[in-house]
Amino acid sequence: MTSQSAAPIKVIYDTDPGIDDAMALLFLEYAPQIDLVGITTVLGNASIDTTTHNALYLKQLFDIAAPVARGAGKPLVVPMVEEPHFVHGRNGLGEVPVPETLSVQEHELPAHRFIIDMVRKHPHEIVIVAVGRMTNLALALREDPGIAELVKEVVIMGGAFGFYGHSGNVTPVAEANIIGDPHAADEMFAAPWPVVAVGLDVTQECVMTTAYMQELREKGGKAGQFFWDISRFYEDFYRRATGIDGIFVHDSSAVAYLLDPSLFTTRAGPIKVVTEGIAIGQTIQKSALRSFPPTPWDGLPDQKICTAVDGPRFLDLYFQVIVEGAAARA
């Protein structure tokens, strides 16, 4: 873990809650090294109304100070498709009841302007952790391209690069956050800010088993119980879809990279996203191991992808942060 005496890292969390999104939000909120300065929402696991409502509900339920700014309700170019209710439930939180009326309100700015505003107020200090579609990031870049050089780092959960056979979860070659808005992802990878893509290559190498979730429920206070409740639906989906006994740890893997990059092995190189055809949503990093004739990757910035993870150490870190964070707030 990074030193806790250093100034906390200012984070904007761009998210589509979402079960694993909710688990990653508390990971950020409870990590002592993080100063969560904003939550921005995007469509994805559910509609923008639902993901925004869920983010507000989580803010209220866990007394999170960060404001919630509503983001994009549709992708840049590709048509809307039905949300994956079979993964996160109709309400995005595994069918666990969410009150209709909340006591907290949305921020007055739309997500992409909130991002621009915060980056301009805190140049070189903000890390964006983006675990939904990249639409808000692309809209922010389109409106104010200069922010790219003022953002400290962008850590995304998204993409799949074929390591350990992990190449897609929506199609054989596409991951959900990227295929949901491939044009936005392509623009995001092309911008001159440092991006780390934490893709299926590592998130599907890490499983929170039912036994792990049970222990988290016992020791993780209100958060642990909540995670248990919302993840029952998600676990059923994964059991049916992949045969695993537990859940993949997608969005929290991006947070883990931020808290302790030594958990991951990375590889650098420019990345393009396929935006049409049967491979739409595929993420491809140009190899540095050989030379090619001119390609569309030329001139793009090197971005990092995660190629391996120390799963046990990551799961221990998550457990420790949640249990200690919950105890401190009990």
- Cite the active site residues: 250
> Are 121 and 159 contacting, i.e. CB atoms less than 8 angstroms apart?
no
Based on the shown chain and the rule CB under 6 A, indicate whether residue 40 belongs to the binding site for ligand BDR. Answer: no
Which string of DSSP letters, residue by residue, matches 86-147? HHH-TTSSTT----S--S----SS-HHHHHHHHHHHSTTTEEEEE-S-SHHHHHHHHH-GGG
Q: Which of 148, 176, 255, 284 binds ligand BDR (CB under 6 A)?
A: 176
Report residue 146 as tokens.
């200069």
Residues 6+ apart with CB under 8 A from 61: 222, 226
x/- map, 228-267, ligand BDR, by CB under 6 A:
----------------------xx----------------
- CB under 5 to 8 A by kind: which of ligand BDR, Ca ion, none does 67 bind? none
Cβ burial, residue 279 (10 Å; 0-12/13-18/19+): middle
Q: Mask 102-141, x = binds Ca ion (CB under 5 A)? A: -----------------------------xx---------
Contact 178, 286 (CB under 8 A): no
In the window 57-96, what residues touch ligand BDR (CB under 6 A)?
Answer: 87
Helix, strand, coil percent values for the chain (each to nearest 5): 40, 20, 40
Q: In the range 21-50, which residues lie near Ca ion by CB under 5 A?
A: 21
Shortest reach from residue 292's CB to Ca ion, in Å: 33
Comparison of 59 and 88: residue with beta carbon closer to ligand BDR: 88
Interface with Ca ion, residue 58, by CB under 5 A:
no
The window from 15-23, 73-81, 182-190, 208-216 that contacts ligand BDR (CB under 6 A) reads 15-23
Stretch that binds ligand BDR, among 107-115, 168-176, 219-227, 302-310 (CB under 6 A): 168-176
Separation of alpha carbons 247 and 234, rounded Å: 7
Q: Which residues of 95-112 are buried (b: 16+ CB within 10 A; e: fewer)?
A: ebebeeeeeeebbebbbb
Choose one: 13-21, 33-41, 55-63, 290-298; the region binding ligand BDR (CB under 6 A): 13-21
Q: Which is nearer to ligand BDR, 112 or 250 (CB)?
A: 250
Around Cβ 214, how many Cβ atoms within 10 Å?
Answer: 12
Q: Which does 176 bind (CB under 5 to 8 A by kind): Ca ion, ligand BDR, none?
A: ligand BDR
**Taking each helix axis from N to C terminus, what angle separates 19-30 and 221-242, rounded to the nearest 10 degrees?**
140
Q: Is residue 157 close enough to count as binding ligand BDR by CB under 6 A?
A: yes
Whose Cβ is closer to ligand BDR: residue 21's or residue 235's?
Answer: 21
Q: Tell me the sheet residues that pair with 41.
A: 15
Q: Which is nearer to Ca ion, 137 or 300 (CB)?
A: 137
Counting every residue written for the chain, the total comes to 330
Smallest separation, CB 115 to ligand BDR (Å): 18
Nearer to Ca ion, 83 or 251 (CB): 251
Of 116 and 200, nearer to ligand BDR (C-beta) is 200
Using DSSP's 3-state secondary structure scheme, residue 200 falls into helix
**Position among 9, 10, 14, 21 found at the interface with ligand BDR (CB under 6 A):** 21
The burial of 146, by beta-carbon neighbours within 10 Å (0-12 exposed, 13-18 middle, 19 or more buried), is given as exposed
Identify residues 100-139 at the interface with ligand BDR (CB under 6 A): 131
Q: Given the rule CB under 6 A, which residues bind ligand BDR? A: 18, 20-21, 45, 87, 131, 157, 169, 175-177, 250-251
Binding stretches for Ca ion (CB under 5 A):
16, 18, 21, 131-132, 251
